[in-house]
């Protein structure tokens, strides 16, 4: 039976809250809820509106079926959830739970209802793929958001992995890292987009929880408003992309860190670092990172931030510490496998 998740329900305090599918006209209200939640759940970064717009643009998401907003009697949006299954099922079937509730309306049962809907809907989407093989549902939660962790655990998810956010002060001295012999370090250019996507898929093939990046999702990232080609680095051997370090800048994060309209703590975010598998162990990762950090400093940025799997088999977190990054906070990955 299809999961509908619509209709009204009385919550704590007797207020009636209605769940309905989200539409593109709800974007302002959804974004307001998400930004308010970001300030509490992870105050060092904010969710760009563009990320929410993607929910209504991706070909494998049907907003009428895969989204819900919670609205109060005044028709104000106070919560949001969406369910998604990764479109590439060749290496596994991965579903993802997304959602939040405005901080002022938490602990009233609204988050529990939204999560129940998104969990049931994700299971339905997984079944609809018809694909064989292992399936899993993922929920990523900042460790300080203990309510969300408890809700996920009540639905049968368990913490499998921890991810650390790490930050580096670009004013601190950095050792020069030379490119390995035969390798050229160059800025990213759009002409190399597909080459970098394929390199990313090879580099991340054996990473925990990773599936191939589709052409559609990749285009949203590299053609979006935040990627900075001048800060991003490619390592080329005989013209082939063998490593990469892609960086972006979202000025809304500066305000989140207390730097509105100033040049204090100007942040660059390193989205992706990877080395294709047959080039590992040759010093390519520190070389592309060092070039990106130098470019960020030259561009006037003062801090660099990245996220890392604390149990990465590549030892990435140890490498980043050697390059001057320090852990700031953690996110946990809750997973249900079946």
- What total of structural domains would you count in the chain? 2
Q: Residue 245 is encoded by which pair of tokens? A: 């370090």
Among 32-36, 45-49, 164-168, 243-247, which stretch is predicted with the lowest mean pLDDT?
45-49
Asked if residue 119 and residue 169 are part of one domain, the reply reads no
Asked if residue 77 and residue 224 are part of one domain, the reply reads no
Task: Note whether 112 and 301 are within 8 A (CB).
Answer: no
Asked if residue 253 and residue 280 are part of one domain, the reply reads yes
pLDDT at 124 over 80: yes
Distance CA 219, CA 224 (A): 8
Which residues are CB-contacts of 52 (< 8 A; sequence separation ≥ 6)? 27, 30, 31, 34
Longest dimension (CA), the chain: 69
**pLDDT at residue 8, as a whole number:** 59
Q: Residue 164 is encoded by which pair of tokens? A: 């650390």
Asked if residue 306 and residue 173 are part of one domain, the reply reads yes
**pLDDT at residue 263, as a whole number:** 38
DSSP state of 102: -
Q: What is the CATH number of the domain that holds 195?
A: 3.40.630.30
What pLDDT band is residue 2 in, cutting at 50, 70 and 90?
very low
Q: Residue 22 is encoded by which pair of tokens? A: 């989200």
Beta strands in the chain (DSSP E): 7-10, 16-20, 67-71, 77-85, 93-101, 135-142, 158-169, 183-187, 233-237, 240-248, 267-275, 303-309, 326-337
Higher pLDDT, 293 or 13: 293
Asked if residue 12 and residue 86 are part of one domain, the reply reads yes
Burial of 174 per CB tally in 10 Å (0-12, 13-18, 19+) = middle
**pLDDT at residue 13, as a whole number:** 56
Query: Does residue 176 form part of some domain?
Result: yes
Alpha-helical regions (H) of 242-315: 251-256, 284-298
Higher pLDDT, 51 or 256: 51
**pLDDT at residue 19, as a whole number:** 97
Of 156, 184, 205, the position where a domain reaches its end is 156
Higher pLDDT, 14 or 334: 334
**pLDDT at residue 10, as a whole number:** 52
Alpha-helical regions (H) of 58-163: 63-66, 110-129, 146-154
**pLDDT at residue 44, as a whole number:** 75
Asked if residue 136 and residue 283 are part of one domain, the reply reads no
Asked if residue 317 and residue 169 are part of one domain, the reply reads yes
Of 133, 156, 179, the position where a domain reaches its end is 156
pLDDT at 5 over 70: no
Of 156, 174, 196, the position where a domain reaches its end is 156
Distance CA 91, CA 201 (A): 12
Q: Residue 122 is encoded by which pair of tokens? A: 């994700």
Between β-strands 93-101 and 135-142, what pairing exists: parallel, antiparallel or unpaired? Answer: parallel
Query: Does residue 2 form part of some domain?
Result: no
pLDDT at 20 over 70: yes
Among 39-48, 63-72, 301-310, which stretch is predicted with the lowest mean pLDDT?
39-48
Q: Which domain holds residue 193?
A: 164-330
Asked if residue 141 and residue 80 are part of one domain, the reply reads yes
**Residue 76 φ/ψ region, left for φ over 0, alpha for ψ in the -120 to 50 degree band, beta for the rest:** beta
Closest CA to 135 of 124, 126, 148: 126
Query: Does residue 1 form part of some domain?
Result: no
Asked if residue 178 and residue 322 are part of one domain, the reply reads yes
CA triple 271-283-192, angle to 5 deg: 50
pLDDT at 214 over 70: yes
pLDDT at 264 over 50: no
Beta bridge partners, 223, equal: none
This prediction's pTM: 0.90
**pLDDT at residue 3, as a whole number:** 37
Query: Does residue 14 form part of some domain?
Result: yes
pLDDT tens digit sequence for 154-213: 999 999 999 999 999 999 998 889 999 999 999 999 999 999 999 999 999 999 999 999
Closest CA to 334 of 112, 116, 139, 145: 139
The percent of residues above 90 in pLDDT, for the chain, comes to 83
């Amino acid at each position: 039976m299809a999961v509908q998740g619509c209709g009204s329900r009385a919550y704590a305090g007797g207020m009636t809250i209605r769940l309905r599918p989200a539409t593109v006209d709800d974007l302002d209200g959804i974004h307001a809820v998400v930004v308010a939640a970001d300030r509490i759940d992870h105050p060092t970064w904010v969710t760009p509106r563009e990320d929410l717009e993607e929910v209504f643009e991706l070909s494998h998401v049907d907003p009428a079926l895969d989204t819900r907003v919670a609205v109060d009697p005044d028709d104000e949006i106070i919560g949001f959830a969406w369910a998604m299954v990764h479109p590439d099922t060749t290496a596994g079937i991965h579903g993802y739970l997304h959602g939040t509730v405005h901080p002022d309306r938490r602990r009233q049962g609204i988050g529990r209802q939204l999560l129940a809907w998104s969990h049931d809907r994700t299971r339905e989407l997984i079944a609809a793929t018809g694909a064989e093989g292992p399936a899993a549902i993922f929920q990523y939660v900042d460790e300080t958001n203990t309510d969300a962790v408890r809700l996920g655990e009540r639905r049968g998810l368990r913490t499998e992995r921890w991810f650390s956010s790490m930050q580096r002060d670009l004013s601190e001295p950095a050792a020069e890292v030379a490119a390995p012999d035969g390798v050229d370090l160059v800025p990213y250019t759009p002409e190399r987009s597909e080459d970098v996507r394929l390199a990313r898929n090879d580099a991340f093939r054996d990473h925990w929880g990773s599936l191939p990046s589709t052409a559609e999702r990749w285009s949203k990232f590299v053609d979006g408003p935040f990627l900075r080609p001048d800060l991003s680095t490619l390592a080329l051997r005989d013209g082939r992309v063998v490593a990469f370090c892609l960086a972006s800048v979202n000025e809304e994060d500066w305000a989140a860190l207390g730097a509105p309209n100033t040049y204090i703590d100007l942040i660059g975010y390193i989205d992706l670092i990877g080395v294709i598998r047959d080039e590992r162990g040759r010093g390519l990762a520190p070389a592309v990172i060092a070039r990106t950090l130098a470019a960020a400093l030259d561009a006037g940025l003062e801090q660099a931030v990245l996220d890392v799997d604390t149990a990465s088999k590549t030892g990435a977190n140890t490498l980043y510490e050697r390059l001057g990054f320090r852990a700031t906070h953690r996110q946990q990955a809750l997973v249900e496998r079946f």
